[in-house]
Amino acid sequence: MSTTVMMLAAAAAEAAAQAPAVEAPSPLLAYVSPVFLLLWAAALCAICAGIHSVLGEQKLLRPQLAAPTGVLENPLARQVTRLAWHWTSALWLLAGALLVAAAYGDIGATWLVIAVGAVHLIAGIADAIMTKGRHIGWPLITLIGAFTLLSVYLTA
């Protein structure tokens, strides 16, 4: 048994010596794991979904729906407004699930991961600019995009 282990170890060492060296794009990025980045982006998606639903319901929806004016006087518009708000949170959970699947190699469509990252990065930057940094979501949204796109960059 020990002979077999030694032969396997020698074969692995020889294969490693013959394998071409793959350099990281930058010395700093050599220590960053694409899987780790995707899992962090997915966790941030879940955090955004929770904050969006809970704080949005408390700070925005309830006050708006308590004193309906304009289009919110219509009961259907009130129901659709609440549904659409929480649907956005559900979509964030779906994006997070997609990123987890990508982290474990279950998503072969790199373009889809790039799209999730690009949309989040653009939306986060636009949110920061439009709200002059006052909206609490822009840093998390921007990080989701940055982590996702960086993970794709590191695996390319």
pLDDT score, position 32: 82
Question: Is the pLDDT score of 76 beyond 70?
Answer: yes
pTM: 0.79
pLDDT score, position 1: 45
Please give the structure tokens belonging to residue 152.
């794709």
Residue with tokens 């960053």: 32
Question: Is the pLDDT score of 25 beyond 90?
Answer: no
pLDDT score, position 35: 94
Please give the mean pLDDT across all residues of the chain.
Answer: 87
Contacts of 101 (CB under 8 A, 6+ apart): 107
pLDDT score, position 78: 92
pLDDT score, position 134: 97
C-alpha 145, offset from chain centre: 6
Inter-residue contact 71 to 77 (CB < 8 Å): yes
Question: Is the pLDDT score of 22 beyond 60?
Answer: no
